[in-house]
Structure 1
Amino acid sequence: MSDDRTHAIAVAQAAAVIDDIDRNLATLSRLVESAAQQGADVVVTPELFATGYAPDRAWRHDGAAIRAALAALAGEHRIGLVASSVDSAGAAHHIAASFFSAEGEEISRVHKRHLFGGVEQQWMTPSARYGDPFAWRGTSWGVGICYDVEFPEFARSLSVAGADILLVPTAVPTVEEGVDGLGDPWHYSATQTSTLQVPARALENGVAIAYANHCGPGFTGRSCIATPFGRNAVLLGDEPGVAVVRVPVAAIERARSINTYLPDLSD
């Protein structure tokens, strides 16, 4: 019997305002509503959007209250929602990402394992492990956060554990650096995370990946949804927006039959 499961997945990007929780939640509400109106089953939003991406300040806000507001958004718009907050316990502050069901239930919360840059490393606590896949609407899903996806081990760990679709909130700053006089092959652009690394992770592991970034000053934008064939089905630009892609589970299975990386992986 053929597998006819299909999930409509959205990525949403916009510019957040640091410390303005009410304004950022209002922006998220508009993005989530747009995704729902376009028929999405689940929408991925950027890392630490509710607080604005400022790891030295985000932990000062009430993460539990923010998660309650995010759960309410998911329930109001009847859509699965992936959104980021800070999960604090005593002196430990974790950058977290939660999956809220369309009924407003938080059914998964993971902590960021790989902290990016000195500010995150000073103020946040890394997770000791990647999160576990979880079942939702008959499919196995995995969640990671930003820098995690830039390490091959993240996508490999979750795909080996059975995940079919990975959902990744992110906050990628604009970086353009290279070696003078050697041309484009010796130039790095942070946009390559969306255009090169995310599609490669999807291809290597036979998974679809939805990756949602901030846009506006200082961020690359370019939220994307990569297929297990190693290509982006959608790639946003620099402006706020929402994009939806229908992901057939049978197409994921077909990709895995063409590139048999997972069964061929040797210890």
Structure 2
Amino acid sequence: MKLALYQMSATANPTPRARRISEALTRASAAGADLMVAPELALSGYGAGDALRDLAQPAEGQWCQHLQEVVEASGCALVTGFPERLGDTLHISAMALRPGRPPVIYRKGFLYGDYEKAIFTPAGPNVVTFEYAGLKIGLLICFDVEFPECTRSLALAGAELILVPTALPAQPGSPFVANAMIPVRAYENQVFVAYCDHADADDAFAYQGLSSIAAPDGTLLAQAPETGEAMIQAEITPAAYAEGRRLNPYLAEWRASQRAQTRD
């Protein structure tokens, strides 16, 4: 499977975000991508503040309907972040849209900082996967991937690729998350991890950029720069890393230990 990440510039742009994502999806498809990822809250902008309460839409809302049409027309699947209204509750969510299939929704388990906690409700740890292009794919959002348990839970559920829309701010520690933690999450679970950030700044935050696709051996298959809009791509081929899983059988050993405890 060919995977594309669309690192969006947060700098003011008169083009509506849904249109920017649609146009990027069309470009990604034309370049041969099977699936494209956009950042956390990509459809609203992360730094919109209290306006996020009014911008939030239900999972079956206009954003989803419009983007599903683009997915069907392009033949390229999409994962993108949006503020979700679920009854009286607001979540930071991601929608996974596939041609001819119903949407899959993931809600952020762990909120980061007072900004998010003042607006949204955390979903807590939750395991959401879907099948596409012969792969089992898991979803996380931003801060979730910094909890090793979240990635491990998806890997134990059989995920081969984990997609992480994010809004990593430009602050101390963020380069370490992007450059070191993401490859380690991939390596320690023997999975691919794709981390898709914003870049530049909006009225509230500056973003780290450095969107990347990490392989099961910890190498970065592709990485975007710290600034500017970018589209990066990589081939996702789990079979190419079978030897690494044999040499580093973390999941197999964990499963074996759990079976032994159950027998005891």
The AA in structure 2 aligned to 1:58 is L
Query: Any idea what the Cα deviations from partners look like across 1:162-181, whole Å, max 9, x if unmatched?
Result: 101011111011103xxxxx
2:22 is aligned, of 26, 29, 43, to: 29
SS in 1 for 2:50: helix
Q: Say if 1:131 and 1:70 are closer, same or farther in 2 by CA, change over 3 A.
A: farther
Alpha-carbon distance in structure 2 between the residues aligned to 1:25 and 1:220: 22
Match in the other structure for 1:220: 208
Alpha-carbon distance in structure 2 between the residues aligned to 1:95 and 1:164: 24
Give identity over the alignment, percent.
30
Q: Is residue 127 from structure 1 mapped to residue 123 from structure 2 by the alignment? A: yes
Structure 2 residues not aligned, in runs of 5+: 259-264
Q: Say if 1:46 and 1:34 are closer, same or farther in 2 by CA, change over 3 A.
A: same
The answer on whether the counterparts of 1:207 and 1:252 sit within 8 Å (CA) in structure 2 is no
Q: Say if 1:56 and 1:231 are closer, same or farther in 2 by CA, change over 3 A.
A: farther
Alpha-carbon distance in structure 2 between the residues aligned to 1:110 and 1:57: 22
Q: Is residue 50 from structure 1 mapped to residue 43 from structure 2 by the alignment? A: yes
The answer on whether the counterparts of 1:19 and 1:58 sit within 8 Å (CA) in structure 2 is no
Match in the other structure for 1:13: 7
Alpha-carbon distance in structure 1 between the residues aligned to 2:142 and 2:180: 15
Q: How many residues align?
A: 247
Deviation at residue 134 of structure 1 after TM alignment: 1.9
The answer on whether the counterparts of 1:50 and 1:84 sit within 8 Å (CA) in structure 2 is yes
Match in the other structure for 1:239: 228
SS in 1 for 2:9: coil
TM-score by length of 2: 0.87
The answer on whether the counterparts of 2:28 and 2:36 sit within 8 Å (CA) in structure 1 is yes
2:237 is aligned, of 239, 245, 248, to: 248
Query: Any idea what the Cα deviations from partners look like across 1:55-99, whole Å, max 9, x if unmatched?
Result: 532231242222222222322322010011122123211111111
1:102 is aligned, of 99, 102, 106, to: 99
Match in the other structure for 1:206: 190
2:69 is aligned, of 49, 54, 72, to: 72
Deviation at residue 19 of structure 1 after TM alignment: 11
TM-score by length of 1: 0.86
Alpha-carbon distance in structure 1 between the residues aligned to 2:218 and 2:75: 31
Deviation at residue 246 of structure 1 after TM alignment: 0.6
The answer on whether the counterparts of 1:34 and 1:242 sit within 8 Å (CA) in structure 2 is no
Alpha-carbon distance in structure 1 between the residues aligned to 2:157 and 2:74: 31
SS in 1 for 2:109: coil
Q: Once superposed, what is the RMSD of the aligned Cα atoms?
A: 1.9
